[in-house]
Structure 1
Amino acid sequence: MIASSLDFLMTTPSAIGGSKMNLLPLAASFTDTIVSWFGYDASQVPEGAKVEFLLTNLPTSWGVFVLIAAVAAMLYGVVNLYRRELDTCPAWVKLLLAGMRCGVVLLLVVIFLGPSLVYLQNREVRPTLILARDASQSMNTADRYDDETAAKITSSVMNLSLEEVRRLRPTRTQIVNKVLSDPESKLLEELATRGKVQAINFSDHVERLQTRSALPPTGAERPVSTTPPTAEEASESSRAPKTPLPLLAADGRGTDLWMAIRESMSTDSPAAVVMFSDGQHTGRDDPRNAALEAKERGVPFFMVGVGDPSKPRNLRVASLYVRPQVWQDEPFEIDAIVTAQGIEAGDARVELIEQKVNESDKSLSSGAVVQTLQLEVPEGGGRLRAQFSHTAKEPGDVVYSVRVQPVDDEINEDDNQVSSAVVKVLSREKVRVLLVAGAPTWEFRLLQKLLARDKTIVVSCWLQTLDEERAQEGTRQITQLPTTREDLFYYDVIMLFDPNPQEFDEAWIELLKQFVGEHSGGLLFMAGPKHSGRLLTGARTSEFNKLLPVSFGDVGALEVASLLSSNQRSWPLKVTQANVDHPVMRFYPDRQETLQRWETLPGIFWSFPSQEPKPTATVLLEHSDPTLRSVEGPRPLLVAGRYGSGHTLYLGFNGTWRWRRAGRQAEFFDKFWIQATRYLVEGRSLEGRRRGYVQTDRDRYEIGERITVSARLQDATYNPLVAPKVEATLESTGNQPETLTLLPVANQPGSYEAALTARSTGVFTVRVRPASAGDGESATIETPFTIELPSVETNQIWLDKPLLTEIANLSGGKYFEISELSQLAEAIPNKTEVLETRGRPQPLWDTPGMLTCLIVLLAAEWWVRKQYKLL
């Protein structure tokens, strides 16, 4: 069909309105009557549509001239034919007959052209409008409003006086909720007139929101109508809910404006983006580049700043870390981060306070300042590290606090002091260690000398290859491998270096299981290429596998494959970053510094084919060779675990003696092995009188991170506890205790786990008291952990108005103060598109009316011709 429109002057009754209704009532009525007579049904025309006349078979180009010539020739022939009729016929009759015949010809031409009527309907396609809200932690800031302009802006928005604003200090989140969710706010309704509003929250990730009710109007398309709404429609509209957005809760760990801009542009090609933020960008990519891309795509950003642009004066202790257990008369580090904002260059006095507590965590004293540091604050402030080295003189439970002295006009003095969880100072008793080795390896010889030099360690050695005539080494020499309960349980820690299983039997392995599981002894096993395969697969010693925190597949086949592989290349150590704070791994107070040191230590050549860690085990080191990766993950090399109430360590590689080349005087080799020994004996010192343990996967968390709590519990007979669930309490200072339910771990009798999300800062303690325990206080098992604010997100908290303004300008948008929202909707470009759709043509030629016209003309011509005796 060739849709050539002639702009016909016809309009259906339903579409007549405005001036047309007033000026052409008779013409419209007459036209409708004629069209109806030809069979056109005007009731099929949709509301608001316009009707047009079309010739569906009208030729194009030169075909039009051919048609005109043909019609003219036919009309000329008809006229000439009737001019030659008999003279007995009057001239007027000839003219009448010629006119009727020409009418027939013209009517046939009209039928050939296919006259039709078609309705046109305009449909409005509304664009998408993105409403983005900053949900990062900095939006919880309660500004002091030292800036007078910012105070007046907040005063007008919150309907408060300047004095009330500075006294109540509403958070930025409360301000955003006020302007978006207050029933009196018209912003959402005004934005809805510019397009379909879709809302997102952004921080270090983007969350798309589901609104609770539709913003008017939300359809993808709607017909254009000039008819005013009826009273019922107006009433229904007034009853529509006006709070479609959920309240903003700012719990994000960072603010990535670059990602928020990119994600906003990827949503249904938006016409514009309205973004509420304080402008504190913590992501890696520059948001200005994303703003330029938005400009190219025609998506302007209208940035709404929230907060006080003045940089506050504040000193804050951002974080504090100290190990949960330390040793009496042995130095340990206490690491604190102090942030300074808006402070002139100078010194800040930082104090370390020690406070003794009882078994119920109640203070026994007011606390005493045990150490003081003077930190140099640069101009404008920054992040400062306060590192204390302290020695506890008496065993017991202690809480350490770090306090920084406030400065004049400080924004908040409540955050100048932070306290640690309860630290257990272990008695300075000598640690008794038994070393058993199947050969005089470098590890065995160097570790024996290291432990022998330590005045706090008693070491006995049993080198299985040593001649009987020669005496074993150690500060406490032995003449045979301890095989009785009395002899073996004398020791606190047993270290096995690829031992020869020929000297072991079922009874000794069972005694070793009791030593670790019931006696809370520590066990270290370093695998080797000579004997470990037979130890783990032998009929008499296979039960040894249960003690280790890793699982093995087909050890024999894996050993063969390992022997066939080349060990000529050194593979770097792959550190599990989440566990770099583990007591065995910690070289420095700073996590990043410790991680960097581990990555620079000499790598490994050989490793034992372990398969995967057992549930609740903690992987510290993994193999970096991708060819050794299985479906369970990388090959574990250093794994810490528990068996019963004792600590265990698995080393699936040798060659730690190469670490002596790093640092000064083998400091990292020595520190690793001393820390490993201390870690193994901690189970004996802390949990020997308890039935099991409870622990978290880390000591420190940031807001929003996942916390895994695991427990290994025993009943009164020291068998694995069997219960459908275990109730624990989660306690923190100033908050009501919460109940935490730990559920059994499949195929791990006595093991229970629970997961939770870090939602508030502070020092927390998980306490478990097994249901079958007696009424003694010693039955309670506990572990502390700390939740901190994201250090990057909370370091800079002022409103970065210049950045928001630059982003808005680069994208083609505009920056608005939050008090200027009444002008926001008008500034957004109207990108509503009107699409014209055509209905199906309704023919006027294939109707009874058209056929009647032909019959009437032909019949009239025939009757006149007969009356005048014409052929």
Structure 2
Amino acid sequence: MPLYLIIIPPILLFKIFADMSERHFQFNSFELSGWTIVSVCAVVLALVTIVLLFRYERRLVAPKVGNILIALRVTTLIFILLTFLEPVLTWSFNTEKTGRLVVAVDVSDSMNTQDRHASDLEKLQLARALKMIGNDQINDRLDRWENAYSLKQEPPWVDESETANPEKRAQLGASRKQNLEEIFAEIDKLSRKEIAQKLLLNPANPILEKLQQRGQVDLVLFAGEAVSAEKTTLETGLDQVPDQVHMGLSNLSQALKASTGSSESGASPISGYILLTDGRDNSQLNPVSTAEQLGQMQVPVYPVILGSSHQPKDISVAALDYPQTAFKDDKPLLKARIGTSGYEGQEVRVVLKQNDREVAVKNFKSQGISKLLEFELNSGTLGRQEFKVETNLLPGETRDDNNEKSFAINIVDDKSRVLLVEETARWEFRFLHNALERDKRIELQQVLFEQPYMGLLPQPFFPNQLLIKTQPDNEQLNLEEKTHPFADKDLIIIGDVSPEHLENWEHIQTFVADQGGTLVLLAGKKYLPLAHQSPILNELLPLKNLKVVDWNQGNFKVPPAERGMRLQLTPEGEAEPLFQFDVNPATNRDIWKQLPGHLWFLQGELKPGASVLAYGISPFNAPLDEEKDGVIIQRQYGSGKVIWIGIDSTWRWRYRVGDRYHHRFWGQLARWAARNKASAGNEFVKFSLSKTDIDAGEITTATARWTQEYLNRFPDVKTSVTISKASEPDKVIASFDLNRQKNQPVIHEANLPSLPAGEYQLKLITSPEVAEGKEITTPLFVHEIKTIELGNLTSNPQLLSEMAKSSGGKMLTPGTLDQLLDLLPNLSQETTSQDEISLWDHWLILTLIMGILTVEWAIRKLNGLP
């Protein structure tokens, strides 16, 4: 029998089956060319073997039996080859689901605003949308009134065709004007939240009912968070809003994430979002980005803007910026942003109070925009110090509940303990030593290995040895009896030290990783770090593949202040307090641009987890690369931080300004390194909050930092936190577990649950117990949040328009809300799904192969073949 007659039938069988059912075959192994070649070669080899066997067997049996045997064997080979090629049968099918609509109503504090300051045009349009005025007979007249208001003209109250009698025209016009003013007065009494309710439930135009006739509608209330609600909640006037909504915040992204959980669990897909909001958003998220993602899934967003776009008459404490913790006798700075609108030219009085006592007063004339004021806070008294910022209440303000805000800072009596290690008294050491030694808030210890010493004094002026007390690794020694050599230090600064004088890098590594200390590595031209071969130093460094870059030759002839490479801060650097020479960000950038440049620095490649705080700007205006040209770089290492400063000339910042910037930078760095001094705990664990004073709904993180030595002995230690009211410390109202961080196992942390306004005490609970009868607690103060949400009361049509455009929707107004039903997509959605059957490992293929081989074996045995 010809071979092609044997091979063709199985292939035709597959092809016919595929053609009959509109299904498609694909061979997965075609993507793996090497596997395909090996499979084909194996089958060809087996085929050659079968042919040779056939030539031998046809001498022993009849030709008919031989043809049957070879046909069965070749068929088996074909099935095996197809199995190697991994054929998969795929087909598509359509399913139809009815989509859902999410109607989200903004219930944040700004939605309680009554827009009495709205223009007459806005009020007329809103009255028509709420069906308070208008019908088919007078709509044309109302259109003319709107046109007149848009041109800032008096509306034509009476049409010429109505009456020619001047007296009747005057009476009719006065009556209509009075009637409209009464309607405007009713509009002035409505808050934005009440307007949203009336738009949805108005019997004359029940939008919500019409939407429900189109399909399933999910009602959502949102502010800082979003919760599901029922129609009855709307009907009660939205007076009872759940606490978890956090009305003091506005987060439009939460509204766009509402109801997605049920969609993922198999419910009908979401076909669109309808937001009734004023567009205010004070979250850290980007709602436009969220809307764009919905647009990619063909889920449009239709915002309905509520509220006037005109600035209301209002004075508010818009925002406060202040340090959470400050050292005693420092000068912590409060930056208060005062919102002023509608009172141009009027005097605004701002008072800073401490314990209800006036400590500072500032007056300014309003220019209709916000004003940034600065106050130095009193830090002479230890402990928690409470303050309040108040503004005077001016006549006609839209709201009178956003004119004050309270806050507090924690004043601690402590010093930053700094160790400065250098090889020789190079310029960087001399000026750095002077800067740190003069600072009363710094306790400085110096080590200078190489210094002139004539033997006239009993010892050199500076210590010339780094004395490290070591203890034997005694398992019987209690943890509390063990001390680390740098346990009393907050900051270690290592300059250009030779490898011979600094070999104990493991102690420095412990200081950073386990004790949470800060290590500053100052680049040196002789030794550090290029001359060192320490693997620990290489691990601590935030960069690798270092090389020298010299700017000294290119512009040596220019004045000293203009030589070399200047530094520019990254956004991360601008946010760090150690780089702030002025409270105004723009002024601070200008100061850094004007600081003298540097003629030499070490350039390297950034390691994962490291971030550039300041990078160099080439004196030749070469293209900038923040990562490549990073000069000041930080990296979290265990519980602490490593800061790399790739220059040896910060002393040049003193040129013609003396101590102003050089001393301030290093003093701020020393305080920054001691930022955890206020943390509760002991030598084994430190317990702290990222913020001890927060607004209701704001997120803060609880962190427990363990020493590596303790974790080595108790690797399965468990940590949790209990929350009690300060007035009832024995009554636990909430608790939560701290989670071990994968990248930093010495840190256990978690976000606190949402808490209402009040004063709380947080207690660290450990298993096994580590406090030994001494509770590890820290306070938490939660304030009522008003001014962040109420700092700006205007509606934000620009943001809502961008959200609508990004998602493929459209921004609507109350007057154009009727267009919604025409704009909504068809809620009946047809989705295409794909299914497949893997044929190569299907049980039927295995059965066919085994069946063919069984028949071949039986024929051989019946004909006397081996």
| Secondary structure of the corresponding residue to residue 323 of structure 1 | coil
Question: Could you tell me whether the CA contact under 8 Å between 1:497 and 1:527 is conserved in 2?
Answer: yes
Q: Deviations over 1:830-869 (max 9, x none)?
A: 99xxxxxxxxxxxxxxxxxxxxxxxxxxxxxxxxxxxxxx
| Deviation (angstroms), 1:691 | 4.1
**1:774 aligned onto 2:771:** yes
Counterpart CA distance in 2 for 1:629 and 1:730 is 47
Match of 2:343 in 1: 343
Match of 1:373 in 2: 362
Whichever residue aligns with residue 533 of structure 2, its letter is: T
Match of 1:530 in 2: 526
Match of 2:660 in 1: 667
Q: Cα–Cα, structure 1 residues 803 and 712, in superposed 2: closer, same or farther, change >3 Å? A: closer
Q: Cα–Cα, structure 1 residues 373 and 685, in superposed 2: closer, same or farther, change >3 Å? A: same
Match of 1:321 in 2: 321
Extract unaligned runs of 5+ from structure 1: 1-129, 193-200, 215-239, 279-305, 356-366, 832-871
Counterpart CA distance in 2 for 1:488 and 1:340 is 52
Match of 1:407 in 2: 394
Counterpart CA distance in 2 for 1:576 and 1:635 is 10
Q: Cα–Cα, structure 1 residues 383 and 608, in superposed 2: closer, same or farther, change >3 Å? A: same
Whichever residue aligns with residue 389 of structure 1, its letter is: E
| Deviation (angstroms), 1:383 | 0.6
Match of 1:223 in 2: none
Match of 1:503 in 2: 501
Counterpart CA distance in 2 for 1:496 and 1:389 is 34
| Deviation (angstroms), 1:337 | 0.9
Counterpart CA distance in 2 for 1:760 and 1:573 is 45
Whichever residue aligns with residue 411 of structure 1, its letter is: T
**1:442 aligned onto 2:440:** no
Alignment of 1:777-796 (within 5 A): 779-780=776-777, 796=792
Q: Cα–Cα, structure 1 residues 329 and 685, in superposed 2: closer, same or farther, change >3 Å? A: same
Counterpart CA distance in 2 for 1:696 and 1:746 is 20
Counterpart CA distance in 1 for 2:527 and 2:412 is 36
Counterpart CA distance in 1 for 2:679 and 2:296 is 55
Whichever residue aligns with residue 575 of structure 1, its letter is: L
Match of 1:330 in 2: 330
| Deviation (angstroms), 1:635 | 5.1
**1:577 aligned onto 2:564:** no
Match of 1:751 in 2: 747
| Deviation (angstroms), 1:373 | 1.6
Counterpart CA distance in 2 for 1:647 and 1:242 is 46
Q: Deviations over 1:659-693 (max 9, x none)?
A: 3348x434222211111122234445656746444
Alignment of 1:464-503 (within 5 A): 464-469=449-454, 477-478=462-463, 480-484=465-469, 493-503=491-501
Counterpart CA distance in 1 for 2:824 and 2:674 is 70
Question: Could you tell me whether the CA contact under 8 Å between 2:104 and 2:273 is conserved in 1?
Answer: no
Question: Could you tell me whether the CA contact under 8 Å between 1:433 and 1:493 is conserved in 2?
Answer: yes
| Deviation (angstroms), 1:385 | 0.9
Question: Could you tell me whether the CA contact under 8 Å between 2:316 and 2:791 is conserved in 1?
Answer: no
Alignment of 1:583-732 (within 5 A): 583-591=577-585, 593-595=587-589, 597-598=591-592, 601-602=595-596, 605-607=600-602, 609=604, 611-612=606-607, 614=609, 620-621=613-614, 637-639=632-634, 641=636, 644=639, 649-661=643-655, 664-684=657-677, 686=679, 689=682, 691-693=684-686, 711-714=704-707, 717=710, 722-723=715-716, 726-728=719-721
Match of 1:388 in 2: 375
The higher radius of gyration belongs to 1
Counterpart CA distance in 2 for 1:352 and 1:260 is 40
Q: Deviations over 1:45-103 (max 9, x none)?
A: xxxxxxxxxxxxxxxxxxxxxxxxxxxxxxxxxxxxxxxxxxxxxxxxxxxxxxxxxxx
| Secondary structure of the corresponding residue to residue 797 of structure 1 | coil
| Secondary structure of the corresponding residue to residue 677 of structure 1 | helix
Counterpart CA distance in 2 for 1:342 and 1:473 is 74
Question: Could you tell me whether the CA contact under 8 Å between 1:438 and 1:497 is conserved in 2?
Answer: yes
Counterpart CA distance in 2 for 1:260 and 1:712 is 35
- Higher mean alpha-carbon deviation, 493-502 vs 148-157, is at 148-157
| Deviation (angstroms), 1:410 | 2.6
Counterpart CA distance in 1 for 2:101 and 2:617 is 45
| Deviation (angstroms), 1:339 | 0.7
| Secondary structure of the corresponding residue to residue 674 of structure 1 | helix
Q: Deviations over 1:270-319 (max 9, x none)?
A: 9xx995444xxxxxxxxxxxxxxxxxxxxxxxxxxx22456422221121
Q: Cα–Cα, structure 1 residues 815 and 423, in superposed 2: closer, same or farther, change >3 Å? A: closer
2:116 pairs, out of 146, 149, 153, with 146
Q: Cα–Cα, structure 1 residues 470 and 589, in superposed 2: closer, same or farther, change >3 Å? A: farther
Counterpart CA distance in 1 for 2:615 and 2:782 is 25
| Deviation (angstroms), 1:467 | 2.8
Q: Cα–Cα, structure 1 residues 326 and 690, in superposed 2: closer, same or farther, change >3 Å? A: farther
Q: CA RMSD in A?
A: 6.4
| Secondary structure of the corresponding residue to residue 323 of structure 2 | coil
Q: Cα–Cα, structure 1 residues 712 and 457, in superposed 2: closer, same or farther, change >3 Å? A: closer
| Deviation (angstroms), 1:707 | 7.8
Q: Deviations over 1:442-465 (max 9, x none)?
A: 221111122333345454433222
Alignment of 1:10-159 (within 5 A): 140-146=110-116, 153=126, 157=130
Q: Cα–Cα, structure 1 residues 752 and 455, in superposed 2: closer, same or farther, change >3 Å? A: closer
| Deviation (angstroms), 1:754 | 4.7
Match of 2:858 in 1: none
Counterpart CA distance in 1 for 2:317 and 2:538 is 46
| Deviation (angstroms), 1:172 | 6.5
Q: Cα–Cα, structure 1 residues 576 and 173, in superposed 2: closer, same or farther, change >3 Å? A: farther
2:208 pairs, out of 185, 197, 207, with 185
Match of 1:170 in 2: 193
| Deviation (angstroms), 1:495 | 2.1
Q: Cα–Cα, structure 1 residues 575 and 155, in superposed 2: closer, same or farther, change >3 Å? A: same
Alignment of 1:445-460 (within 5 A): 445-460=430-445
Q: Deviations over 1:389-410 (max 9, x none)?
A: 1331122222333222222233
Whichever residue aligns with residue 398 of structure 1, its letter is: Q
| Deviation (angstroms), 1:620 | 3.1
- Higher mean alpha-carbon deviation, 653-662 vs 389-398, is at 653-662
Whichever residue aligns with residue 528 of structure 1, its letter is: G
Extract unaligned runs of 5+ from structure 2: 1-99, 134-182, 216-249, 471-482, 555-563, 827-866
Q: Cα–Cα, structure 1 residues 610 and 742, in superposed 2: closer, same or farther, change >3 Å? A: farther
| Secondary structure of the corresponding residue to residue 421 of structure 2 | strand
Alignment of 1:273-288 (within 5 A): 276-278=303-305
Question: Could you tell me whether the CA contact under 8 Å between 2:453 and 2:460 is conserved in 1?
Answer: no
| Secondary structure of the corresponding residue to residue 658 of structure 1 | helix
Q: Figure out how many residues of one structure are paired with residues of the other and give that number.
A: 603
Question: Could you tell me whether the CA contact under 8 Å between 1:761 and 1:789 is conserved in 2?
Answer: no
| Deviation (angstroms), 1:388 | 0.4
Q: Cα–Cα, structure 1 residues 173 and 552, in superposed 2: closer, same or farther, change >3 Å? A: farther
